[in-house]
Amino acid sequence: MTPAIEVSGLGKRYGGVQALDGVDLEVAQGEFFALLGPNGAGKTTLISILAGLARPDRGEARVMGHHVVRDYRAARRALGVVPQELVFDPFFTVRETLRIQSGYFGLTHNDAWIDEILDHLDLTAKANANMRTLSGGMKRRVLVAQALVHRPPVIILDEPTAGVDVELRQGLWAFIRRLNQAGHTIVLTTHYLEEAETLCSRVAMLKSGRVVALDTTANLLAGLSGVHLKVRLEPDRLPEALRARALPVSGGLQVIALERAALVADALAALRAEGIQVLDVQLEQPDLEEAFLRLVGREERAA
């Protein structure tokens, strides 16, 4: 099957900044894919090239098999992009905005789908409000709606939940999940890593324009074997034997890094042997944030 997104050897330089430095990536149809990375990693640049907003210096990119430069019309028809910047046209209402966007894609009778999108994004009450009068979170939801008017098989969301309140974030994700179940390929960037962890089956991490990790979410997490044992102690000091494993204190709790969960019993025994009382115990599984910090940190040390 044609990959939804296919990127090879992509390079892009802005003045002195190498925004993308040889990116290879393939996203299969139907995937829920996360593109992660620190500020300035090149996520938006990559999305801009896929959308035809920026031109690559080298390399190629395809959306649903359509070359984004040579076959730009077919590529753009296959793609819906929610831009990171909060942009809007102050001349129009929400409904006018969506009708115009539909028209650009050649859809003149799209009101049934527009109503459905408005409903899912909780915008029905604002359908006839001028864009100027919407709050920031509402404007962002209109951006999501605009990306969906032409039912694109591939949907890319560049930080869609920035500035959206918790309840709506849930609603938005439920809607995006349904689109994914209906067969749409979803790519998202986010700085809320738990979002990526719960939603996405595969993750690419970008750093300084290069892919530093590309794997399933499950594999990335499995690669971080070990647990964090968090304990509140009385007296609040770690015995000599555990000091080598100590991580920075977090929320008044001592944090001890253990390679395996089985070592928890040993650690607690070591505390008891020193006569230290354990007032509170928490075990933490490593999460994507941990993977992210390790990968980004490792790169930094290597550089």
Partner 1 sequence: MSGFLTLLRKELLRFWKVAFQTVAAPILTAALYLLVFSHVLEAHVQVYPGVSYTAFLVPGLAMMSLLQNAFANTSSSLIQSKITGNIVFVLLTPLSHAELYWAYICAAVVRGVMVGAGVFAVTLITGPVPLPHPLWAAAFAVLGGGILGALGLIAGIWADKFDQLAAFQNFVIVPLTFLSGVFYSVHSLPPFWQAASHLNPFFYMIDGFRYGFFGVSDIAPLTGLCIVGATFGGLSFVSLRLLRSGWKLRS
Site for ligand ATP in 18-57 (CB under 6 A): 19, 37, 39-45
**Window 58-97: residues binding ligand ATP (CB under 6 A):** 84
Q: Which of 53, 241 has the CB closer to partner 1?
A: 53
Q: Which residues contact 300 (CB under 8 A, 6 or more apart)?
A: none
How far does Cα 159 stand from its chain's mean position?
Answer: 7
Residues 34-93 that bind partner 1 (CB under 8 A): 48, 51-55, 72-74, 76-77, 79, 81, 83, 85, 87-92
Number of Cβ atoms within 10 Å of the Cβ of 131: 19
The least CB distance from residue 207 to partner 1, in Å, is 22
Q: Nearer Cβ to ligand ATP, position 244 or 303?
A: 303
Cβ neighbours around 252 below 10 Å, total: 9
User: Least Å distance between CB 176 and partner 1?
Assistant: 18
CB of 241 to partner 1, least distance (A): 57
The verdict on whether omega for the bond into residue 56 sits within 30 degrees of 0, i.e. cis, is no
DSSP letter at 93? B
Strand order through the sheet with 58-63: 17-27, 5-14, 58-63, 66-67
**Does the footprint of ligand ATP cover residue 17 (CB under 6 A)?**
yes
Closer to partner 1 by Cβ: residue 146 or 190: 146
SS (H, E, C) 191-254: CCHHHHHHHCCEEEEEECCEEEEEEEHHHHHHCCCCEEEEEEEECCCCCHHHHCCEEEEECCEE
235: CB partners within 8 A, 6+ apart: 276
Which of 48, 84, 161, 217 is the binder for Mg ion (CB under 5 A)?
84
Among ligand ATP, Mg ion, partner 1, none, residue 39 binds (CB under 5-8 Å by kind): ligand ATP
From the list Mg ion, ligand ATP, partner 1, none, partner contacted by residue 234 (C-beta under 5 to 8 A by kind): none
Q: How far is CA 187 from CA 3, 47, 251, 273, in A?
A: 13, 10, 34, 51
Task: By CB under 8 A, tell whether 111 contacts partner 1.
Answer: no
Per CB under 6 A, the segment of 3-11, 13-21, 98-106, 215-223 that binds ligand ATP is: 13-21
Kindly state the smallest distance separating residue 255's Cβ from Mg ion, in Å: 32
**Is residue 196 a contact residue for ligand ATP (CB under 6 A)?**
no
How far apart CA 187 and CA 171 sit, in angstroms, is 18
Question: Applying CB under 6 A, which residues contact ligand ATP?
Answer: 14-15, 17, 19, 37, 39-45, 84
Question: Applying CB under 8 A, which residues contact partner 1?
Answer: 14, 48, 51-55, 72-74, 76-77, 79, 81, 83, 85, 87-92, 100-108, 146
Question: Applying CB under 5 A, which residues contact Mg ion?
Answer: 43-44, 84
